[in-house]
Amino acid sequence: MEESVLLVLLGIVVGAYGTLIGAGGGFILVPVLLLIYPHDAPITITTISLAVVFCNALSGTLAYTRMRRVDYRTGLIFAAAAIPGSIVGVFANGLFARRPFDMLLGVLLIVVALWVVIQPASNETPAGEAASANSRELTDAAGTTYRYTVKRNLGIAISVMVGFLSSLLGIGGGIIHVPAMVQVLGIPPHIATATSHFVLALTTLTGSATHALHGDFAHTIRRIIPLAIGVIVGAQAGAALSTRLHGNLIIRLLALALGLMGIRLIVSAITG
């Protein structure tokens, strides 16, 4: 019972913060689960994380849908590109031993954190690319209008990689997708976080279904249920809080979380 309560509380934190920055929370959940269950194989951890991130992404998507911040057209294109990679990533996960897995995830998180801080965001379309850009205009429920262009072909290429890494590492992919959407593809932060959740819901559903067909849920469901309850509640809170924060602050919160978790995992891999 005590473990279940702690997992529910963890789920609330993961759901709230993950939804706030559009990353699904897997980047928090996986490192924490690796620390809580040090003897579990990586595939057990990623099975739990993907299922929980799906619940978080679905709950967050519903909240962002009410706010009218989800770019469905762009999200469907990116999800279609990411889904094949998410299936391959499930099977590739079994090839990793625990310490190399921790080290890989830690280094990846720190690299992305540094990139988010150093690389300035831009919503401008370079000269000569206007004809190929995917122009978008969305007005949210609060009346704010967002006009931007999406480099669709580049976004598709990034999404293929994100889909693979999301299932390989069990982090859902949003932790990479959001900064890529904002700083490479030119999508405003509030639209990027909402659309990322929509993409996450589709890709993590595919990854979780692949794990289910592979029989990986047999010994993880008792942990998934309390975590899922927590993230569903937390996701609603995170989406509501996002309306009060500036886009740049959301991105900096993303970088902070990335860096701290990355450092903790590398230290664990070295000393473990």
Kindly state the average pLDDT of the residues 161-181: 79
Comparing 20-29, 78-87, 96-105, 165-174, the range with the smallest average pLDDT is 165-174
186: tokens are 């030119």
pLDDT in the model for residue 272: 66
Q: Name the residue among 224, 96, 257 with its Cα closest to residue 169.
A: 96
Whole-prediction pTM: 0.78
Per domain, the residue ranges of the chain are: 2-271
Determine the 3-state secondary structure of 188 from DSSP.
coil
Q: Name the residue among 27, 5, 7 with its Cα closest to residue 17.
A: 27
User: Distance (Å, rounded) from C-alpha 125 to C-alpha 121?
Assistant: 12
Is residue 45 within 8 A of residue 34, CB to CB? The reply is yes
pLDDT in the model for residue 265: 77
pLDDT in the model for residue 7: 93
pLDDT tens digit string along 241-255?
888 877 677 777 878
User: Distance (Å, rounded) from C-alpha 23 to C-alpha 21?
Assistant: 6
Is residue 217 within 8 A of residue 211, CB to CB? The reply is yes
pLDDT in the model for residue 75: 94
pLDDT band at 126 (very low <50, low <70, confident <90, very high): very low
- Tell how strand 145-150 and strand 134-139 pair up: antiparallel
Kindly state the average pLDDT of the residues 86-112: 79
155: tokens are 């976004």
* CA distances for 38 relative to 25, 31, 222, angstroms: 20, 10, 17
| pLDDT at 131 > cutoff 60 | no
